[in-house]
Amino acid sequence: MRRVVLGLMLIPGVLAGAYMASHGSRIAVASPVETRASARLARMLQGDFEAPASGSDDAHVGAVARKVCRVDAPALGEHVLYAEERFANGTGRPLSQRLYVVDGQGHRQAHVREFTLLDPEGARGLCDDASKRHFTADEVTEREGCDLVATWRGDRFEAATAGTACRSVLNGASHAKRELLVREGEVTVRDRGYDARGEAVWGHLTAPMRFSRRAAL
């Protein structure tokens, strides 16, 4: 029986636009914020998502809910998101709690850094409680080597970790890898852990987990 471990984790979209009337015609003008890939990616990652149940009888995973919302953490960056995953039936503790910092000034690429929380219990349910949406740099720890480079490709963002620097010891692993695909209203995540021989020992081994947005946050 393979152990399936769910992770977070932080996409494509269309530019937000405004229309201005000029001599009887309507001209689309892209929002200056959305022309930056980092702002677009941060917006597309936010929301109340759900992934359906998956797996076989010997490695079944129930439906998973994922909430991602913006938090105030100016010491970390401009676009800081809190992500929490839990079984959709509401039972048990969260499966994953992370902060993601999305930055970059370019039009096509954004950089995503991942942070763990020193007090995950205190942040539980944060997206449903605006009073909790504040973090300082002393309350989180960056996961070195686990950052993602996200590239805009027509109608989506594609992102992945690089190399073997993202450390993991779960189930005999030596490192982890993440692949991310983000479209408007949909985030597809594939997390896997590998041992020193390069064999996958945990994670989404047969197929990625696809989250569909149920509501905005």
pLDDT at 2 over 50: no
pLDDT more than 70, % of the chain: 82
Q: Are the C-beta atoms of 1 and 10 separated by less than 8 Å?
A: no
pLDDT band at 12 (very low <50, low <70, confident <90, very high): very low
pLDDT at 137 over 60: yes
CATH superfamily of 34-215: CpcT/CpeT domain (2.40.128.590)
pLDDT digits 0-9 by tens, 20-55: 333 333 333 345 557 899 999 999 999 999 999 875
pLDDT band at 105 (very low <50, low <70, confident <90, very high): confident
Q: Which residues on neighbouring strands pair with residue 150, listed in sequence order?
A: 110, 159
Rg of the chain on CA atoms, in Å: 18
Rounded distance between C-alpha atoms, residue 35 and residue 15, angstroms? 7
pTM of the model: 0.82
The type of residue at 135 is: F
Rounded distance between C-alpha atoms, residue 194 and residue 188, angstroms? 20
Q: Specify which of 21-25, 183-187, 207-211 reaches the highest per-range mean pLDDT.
A: 183-187
Query: What residues does each domain of the chain span?
Result: 34-215
